């Protein structure tokens, strides 16, 4: 294998562990805390999870290991989209498992949860796992989006576990994946299979967090990667002085990534979807908000700038959400075929005009033609508009361009407006993990094995106090049911982990809100640069601005 110098060096990096996990497996004891309850809908969640609900939060401390000796055969699954550090979770599980006993075995189920159902696996050994230490990606075993949610699937999973003598499954994933982990743990407990289930919190979107889970892994590396690129564009913008750059970043259901990148780079504009929803901002209001900054800068001779747009911004705009619902109804069932059979866009436009309410058509009609057509392209498996495919960065730059043309004609805008567009998503999902994510993920994996050894199930591996040096991190676990509520999904009430949105009264947003007017008109760009792996801790081991502001 041909390796870059950085690859070679990262293989040799030794992740830092919380102090209590450095003591050695035999010197780690468990301390139980208070019993827990779900974040909402307590009676309904309790009824759905009678065997795993209400369990105690736990922390690990230095002391005698009192876990009963037992050969552990553990299966691990990577679920959902990639996030930097996933390989280190697997490495942490493996190292803790082997430190407990050389006879312990780690199975890796390939390509996500489907690997468990298909009995498609590999068995890890030192040589294989050492090739993936501290690296990005999920290629160690692959990932997938198969959901574990039906009785038939659980029966198959139980049979596969029984066949191999598996004692525990670790599911590494986001909110949906860990919801599946909780349901699987309940099934295994109810049927007395003897198989434990542990989850690990993963998502670069940052929306799997609460008072216990300070951040999901991958968020640190992804936002640092995007912030480096945004900083590079800001430097180019300030050098060329002739373009406004509209940059879309990942984060469909929440704007944590956009907010963190704004805190890192201080752009002229950053839209926060949760604020748009709270204020019920219209597309026209958002357009004018951006155009005001462009006009003020342009009238000072500053014909350049940077605007950050969250991937899911349009779903936060009430009038746009209403439009999407009407389009989904318009093309329900056989009407999709009728629409697709129309000869050209003019005919399709008339079909749309007749099918929408006047209010929704007014919204549709102000959209650029390219965006209008995107709304009627590919549908998701349920026949709905794939909002994530909408190029919202181009939508708002075109609307701003049209608004500025009106202001130019009225004589209020004196500048020039040129646009460039970017979407940063896949660039950050498999980056070499930052030292923070390498350490955090390794700790989550090591900690997951400790939860297994002490017999816990339906728990999420938890490492907290993350703004402190790793030595001071606190390891433990929390019942996944604590994070759950009931939501309406596809016409049914379902237990799910509540997504964490940007808190508009939280310290990160308040800091951004206090400075954004200055950033909008001035040129206050900051340039984070590339992720640093070697050097002073204050450069190499820093966490996100979001976490630093939240934990102070």
Residues labelled catalytic:
205
Q: Phi then psi for 373, rounded to 5 degrees?
A: -70, -35
Residue with tokens 């759905």: 48
Helices (H), 241-304: 256-265, 273-278, 283-298
Kindly report the length of the chain.
552
**3-state secondary structure string across 450-518:** HHHHCCCCCEEEEEECCCCCHHHCEEEEEEHHHHEEEEEECCEEEEEECCCCCCCCCHHHHHHHHHHHH
Euclidean distance between CA atoms 82 and 86, whole angstroms: 8
Distance CA 455, CA 450 (A): 9
Show Cβ contacts of residue 375 under 8 Å, excluding neighbours closer than 6 positions: 324, 327, 364, 367, 385, 390
Phi, psi of 105 (to 5 degrees): -130, 140
Euclidean distance between CA atoms 111 and 108, whole angstroms: 9
- The first and second tokens of residue 460, run together, are 């999420």
| Closest alpha carbon to 76 in 200, 176, 211, 254 | 200
* CA distance linking residue 72 with residue 97, whole number of Å: 8
DSSP state of 422: E
């Amino acid at each position: 294998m041909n390796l870059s110098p950085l690859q070679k060096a990262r293989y040799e990096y030794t992740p830092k562990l919380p102090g209590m996990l450095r003591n050695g497996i035999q010197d780690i004891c468990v301390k139980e805390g208070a019993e827990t309850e779900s974040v909402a809908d307590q009676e309904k969640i309790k009824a759905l999870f009678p065997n795993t609900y209400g369990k105690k939060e736990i922390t690990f401390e230095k002391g005698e290991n009192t876990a009963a000796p037992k050969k552990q055969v553990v299966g691990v699954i990577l679920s959902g989209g990639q996030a930097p550090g996933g390989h280190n979770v697997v490495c942490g599980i493996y190292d803790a498992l082997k430190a407990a006993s050389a006879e312990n075995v780690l199975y890796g189920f390939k390509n996500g949860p489907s690997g468990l159902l298909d009995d498609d696996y590999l068995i890890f050994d030192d040589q294989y796992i050492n090739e993936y230490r501290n690296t990005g990606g999920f290629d160690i075993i692959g990932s997938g989006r198969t959901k574990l949610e039906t009785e038939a699937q659980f029966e198959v999973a139980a049979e596969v576990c029984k066949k191999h003598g598996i004692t525990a499954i670790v599911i590494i994933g986001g909110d949906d994946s860990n919801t599946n982990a909780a349901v699987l743990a309940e099934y295994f407990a109810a049927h007395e299979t003897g198989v434990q289930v542990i989850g690990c919190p993963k998502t670069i979107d940052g929306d799997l967090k609460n008072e216990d889970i300070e951040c999901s892994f991958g968020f640190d590396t992804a936002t640092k990667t995007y912030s480096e690129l945004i900083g590079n564009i800001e430097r180019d913008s300030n050098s060329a002085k002739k373009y406004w750059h509209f940059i879309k970043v990942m984060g469909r259901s929440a704007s944590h990534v956009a907010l963190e990148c704004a805190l890192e780079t201080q752009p002229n504009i950053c839209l926060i979807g949760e604020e748009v929803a709270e204020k019920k901002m219209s597309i026209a209001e958002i357009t004018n908000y951006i155009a005001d900054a462009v006009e003020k800068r342009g009238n000072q001779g500053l014909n350049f700038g940077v605007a950050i747009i969250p991937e899911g911004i349009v779903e936060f705009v009430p009038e746009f959400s209403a439009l999407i619902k009407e389009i989904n109804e318009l093309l329900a069932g056989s009407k999709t075929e009728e629409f697709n059979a129309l000869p050209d866009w003019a005919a399709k436009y008339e079909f749309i005009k007749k099918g929408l309410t006047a209010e929704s058509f007014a919204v549709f009609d102000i959209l650029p033609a390219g965006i209008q057509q995107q709304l009627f392209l590919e549908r998701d498996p349920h026949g709905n508009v794939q909002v994530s495919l909408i190029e919202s960065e181009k939508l708002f730059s075109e609307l701003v361009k049209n608004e500025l043309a009106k202001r130019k004609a009225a004589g209020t805008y004196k500048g020039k407006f040129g646009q460039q567009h970017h979407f940063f998503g896949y660039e950050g999902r498999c980056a070499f993990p930052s030292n923070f994510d390498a350490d955090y993920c390794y700790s989550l994996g090591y900690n997951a094995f400790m939860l297994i050894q002490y017999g816990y199930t339906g728990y999420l591996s938890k490492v907290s106090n993350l703004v402190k040096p790793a030595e001071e991190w606190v390891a433990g676990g929390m019942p996944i049911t604590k994070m759950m509520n009931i939501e309406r999904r596809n016409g049914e009430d379902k237990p799910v982990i509540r997504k964490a949105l940007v808190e508009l009264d939280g310290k990160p947003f308040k800091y951004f809100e206090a400075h954004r007017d200055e950033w909008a008109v001035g040129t206050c760009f900051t340039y984070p640069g590339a992720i640093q792996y070697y050097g002073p801790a204050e450069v190499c081991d820093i966490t996100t601005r979001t976490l630093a502001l939240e934990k102070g």
